[in-house]
Amino acid sequence: MKKISINEFYEIISEPIMLKEKERKTVQHSELPEVDDELSVSLRMRLKSHHSGWTTVFRKGSDDEVVLMRTPGLFLYANNSKLHPRFTGNWESNAGIGAVGDGLLFNKWYHITYTLSDREKRMDIYINGVWTAFNAIENVQMHKVKFNDAPLHIGWFDGEIEYDYNNN
């Protein structure tokens, strides 16, 4: 018997969103396609300023600070806006890649793609179409990515974000 896979595509952002610090867009889990073993998020973003603390580009998880869920999660380091891609696994709630790149510059558009696969046991990050960083899950038999049914939060940084039309 042959397994057939159907890739779903869902456009969350159809028009550019202007964000200020602490602003976000929330998409409920019921409005998103079902994800159980892999996903890819592609977007374009442009920063207007660095944040003095950690900030979020996107994360799928609850608002409850006690329950750490972040699959998927993309954050920016304080003061330099280096990418910090994260996810939650059954062995660690804050797995992922440390600082990626030299940090995002102001008023420059970046194409960013975040991929995460439990099947392949890896996370990959692309910036402007260039494979930039990856994380391999080493204990492939025991460690699993924890996908969740919480809302997807987009924002909290000062800038713009839009769907990446050049990276379908």
Position 4 in a domain: no
Q: What gap in Å lies between CA 102 and CA 165, rounded to an integer?
A: 24
Position 124 in a domain: yes
Residue 153 backbone phi and psi in degrees, to 5: -110, 130
Per-residue model confidence (pLDDT) at position 130: 96
Reading the chain (168 residues) residue by residue, the pLDDT tens digits are 333 444 555 666 666 677 776 778 888 988 888 888 999 999 999 999 888 888 899 999 887 665 688 899 999 999 999 999 999 999 999 999 999 989 999 999 999 999 999 999 999 999 999 999 999 999 999 999 999 999 999 988 889 988 655 443
Position 63 in a domain: yes
Position 162 in a domain: yes
Per-residue model confidence (pLDDT) at position 8: 58
Position 156 in a domain: yes
Cα→Cα distances 80→5, 45, 76, 136, Å: 40, 15, 8, 25
Please state whether the peptide bond connecting residue 16 to the residue before it is cis, i.e. omega within 30 degrees of 0.
no
Position 102 in a domain: yes
User: Total structural domains in the chain?
Assistant: 1
> Could you write out the DSSP letters of every residue in the chain?
-----------S-SS-EEE-TT-EEEE-GGGS---SSEEEEEEEEEESS--SS-EEEEEES-S-SSS---SSEEEE-TTT--EEEEE-BSS-SSEE---BSS-PPBT--EEEEEEEETTTTEEEEEETTEEEEEEE-S-TTT--B----SPEEEE-SSEEEEE-GGG-
Position 5 in a domain: no
Per-residue model confidence (pLDDT) at position 162: 80
Per-residue model confidence (pLDDT) at position 126: 97
Position 78 in a domain: yes
Domain that holds residue 25: 18-167
Cα→Cα distances 137→36, 62, 68, 163, Å: 17, 24, 19, 28
Looking up residue 26, the CATH number of its domain turns out to be: 2.60.120.200
Per-residue model confidence (pLDDT) at position 4: 40
